[in-house]
Each structure stands twice: as structure tokens, then as C-alpha cells.
Amino acid sequence: MTTNEQLQHGRAKNAILAFFERRLSVPKIYIDANWDSHPIDVLAIDRDGVGDVHAVLIFLRKYSTDGDLDDPEDDEMTLKLVDSLAAIPANFKYVAAVDFERNLPVERYQPGMSVMSVAFHSPDGIGRVGLLHINLSADGPAIEVRLRPERFRAKIAKLADDYIQQHEPDWQVRA
């Protein structure tokens, strides 16, 4: 990953942190978390660590040499991340597609219908991976929910309790 890509990846993580800050009740948010031996870009545990667990994996959208977005590569990366999320114990799971090329007209990422029809859903139909689209414009990041997540089965209370005891969050509400 180039220095610019690392910078944009970090900006995307910060944007997701702010997104969860606005949407969750008293979250504890961890950046670059190691959750149950899985690397997670952003992990949020709601309700001061005793609520739902939200896990996000991020990818930077690829551009071809002529500046056009390489959509087939985006779908491949999305499928890879959705597959990775299947093994991660969390109530809500997200893939975040990030645009960071400044002077290009950016088309919102919309996965192909073959990707959308099955890949985002759990095999038993209980749970769906959410899709976030992040545009890192010069004015500041903007996040759009392209596909709302649905709750997965996850018996993770003890895992969450142990995690918050052993790890200091990168952001939390202090009373």
C-alpha cells in the first residue's frame, strides 16, 4: 500500500468512527482491532461495551490508468471481504468501499446483481452484510449506506466482555 493509500485508508477509518459515533448509543470504538483472531478495520461495541458488535472491513476502490474505476475488481474485493466476514462473530457486519481520487468524477459503488443477490446474506437468511460507500473528498468524508445491514446470529457477550477488559478503545463516550 502506498503512503497516499495508507493515508486515505486511515481517513476512511476515522469517517467510520464518526459514523458509528452518530448512530450508536455510547459506543466503544476500536481501530485496527484484532477481534477473535480476525483483523478488523473498525470495530464498535454499542452501549458502553455490552451491546451489539459492529465489524467493518474497508477496501480502496481501484482506478485504471485512464482514471476510470475498475468495477470488476471492486466486485472481486467485495466478495473476498464478505467471505472474510462470514467467519467473524458480530451482530452487524459491513464492507466499506472507499473513493479517494480527488479530480475524477466518482460513481457510487454498486455491486453487480450476482454479488448482491446471494453473497451479502448468511446461508440461513439470518443476517446481511451492509455496504457503505465512503467518498473522501477535500471537503471531508461522506458516508452513504448503500445496503443496510441486518442482524446476524452471534453469541458474543463473553467475547465482548473479555475484549473491552483487555483493550482500550480508540474512542468512547466518557461520563
What are the domain boundaries of the chain? 3-172
Number of Cβ within 10 Å of residue 17's Cβ equals 18
Distance CA 110, CA 147 (A): 9
pLDDT, position 65: 57
Please give the order of strands across the beta sheet that includes 38-45: 140-147, 130-137, 92-99, 53-60, 38-45, 28-35, 171-172
10-residue stretch averages of pLDDT, the chain, 175 residues long: 88 96 93 98 90 96 64 82 95 92 58 68 92 86 92 94 95 76
* Contact between 143 and 17 (Cβ < 8 Å): no
pLDDT, position 15: 96
Distance CA 16, CA 169 (A): 14
Burial of residue 112 (number of CB atoms within 10 Å: 0-12, 13-18, 19+): middle
pLDDT, position 92: 97
pLDDT, position 80: 93
The pTM of this model reads 0.89
pLDDT, position 50: 80
What ranges make up the beta strands (E) of the chain? 28-35, 38-45, 53-60, 92-99, 130-137, 140-147, 171-172
CA 114 from chain center: how many Å? 21
CATH code, 3-172: 3.40.1350
